[in-house]
Amino acid sequence: MFFWLFTTGREILGGCLLPLICLTALLPILAAALMGAGIRRTGQDKQTTRRDIVLRLLAHLVILLGITSVYLTLMSDFSLRHATDVQTDSEFIRFMAGGPPTLNQLRLFMAGVLWLLALGISSLALQEGLRQGGWLRERVDRLRSPIVRRGSLGSSHFCTMREYRRYRRPDSDGVTFLGAFWGERKLRLDYGAGTFHLSGEDAARGILTLGGAGSGKTQGVILPVIGDRMLAGHSLVIADPQGELKEYVLRFARVTGHLVALHDPTSSAGPRYNLAEGIANVSDARAIADVLVPNAQGDNKFWSDSAAALLAACLIRFDTLGDIYNALNDLKKLLVDLEQDGPPPYGRLHTSQITQDEDEHAAEWFVHCVQVELMQVERLAALTGPPSSLESVTRFAHSLGYNAGDQDFRSCRRDLRHRLRLRRVG
């Protein structure tokens, strides 16, 4: 068998060596181009056509013939050697090698096995290159038209007939738009069907709708998407800053049976949540305060830590965020109340930080960030649910107040005085 391959087979393929080498290099690229763009979405695998099967088989055939031709040309002289030692006793090796008994059949058999191994590796590499998302398909797809366009519109362009092909397939988990859809060269892409189908994955990636006032963005895109999702039984979170969608959503809900919860931060009648309610221990208070007050780094860490400590104390002392915000307007009275009602660490906060005029500015400094955060939190509190386990969020390892050493505290005071001098000079 191998003897015939290295003798007669070599003569047959020898005359086609150069054309086979050229086809081996070009045909896989041509097949990848003719098989189409390797675009695939989850649950939408491209169906294999008869043309794709023919192209794959033709590419494999040419590749195998080209590699065989080159291999036989290079290895024939090495394989066909006369035997100098005792021949092998294996009947299988003799059958596969073939040829006269004077040849070294073991050498011929090994050369044939290497040829089969080369064909197998080449076939696997070609299969990986021509599959959906394969390395060869990906590189060919980068060279496709339309090329990247530059100019006033950058790389944007109108949809081509080829790109629109996958938007004709409906998807129960996706979104369907109705209308007439036009693309490149003023061609209608939907063939008169009047539908544009986005798959579930495409819709999840987001939809950007651009248009002037009164161009139909709400009626043509936003409301149909909301209605379709509600009819499908999905739950929705709808942002309506202008308040123009509320009435439509309520009408949809009467049909679909959805429970609609309206959250309006500017209204006192809507649903809301009091973050200060039910806080009875230091750990819970500090956990919420650490979330509300940003944790600064570097030189500003002292102020954010002090603001968080003060807010934690207020969360235990007061019942609502509004009471806390009002209490921060009179800092001396606030800290006196905390000293009387709260644990001992608040005494140090009062005596060490509020006794001097400069220290009043220090208190104002870190309390200011508490006030800013409370103004934001008061509006967004209705969207905030109580943490499932505040103890798991943080561990309260120190008492409230600023617990740094005296030397560190004096250093912070000196830094504050320097800042206040600059502030007064300015």
SS (H, E, C) 289-342: HHHHCCCCCHHHHHHHHHHHHHHHHHHHHCCCHHHHHHHCCCHHHHHHHHHHHC
Interval 234-276: pLDDT, tens: 899 999 888 889 999 999 999 999 999 888 867 777 777 788 8
Higher pLDDT, 392 or 374: 374
**Contact present, 217 and 177 (Cβ < 8 Å):** no
Angle at Cα 76 formed by Cα 81 and Cα 95, nearest 5°?
65
Query: Are residues 209 and 107 part of one domain?
Result: no
The number of domains in the chain is 3
Query: Are residues 299 and 248 part of one domain?
Result: no
**Contact present, 23 and 59 (Cβ < 8 Å):** no
Look at residue 332 and tell me if it is in a domain.
yes
Domain range for 73: 2-141
CA dist 293 and 371 (Å) reads: 10
Query: Are residues 125 and 49 part of one domain?
Result: yes
Mean predicted confidence (pLDDT) in 77-101: 77
Judge whether residue 378 has pLDDT over 60: no
Query: Are residues 249 and 382 part of one domain?
Result: no
Look at residue 247 and tell me if it is in a domain.
yes
Q: Which residues pair with 44 in a beta bridge?
A: 41
Query: Are residues 133 and 11 part of one domain?
Result: yes
| pTM > 0.85: yes or no | no
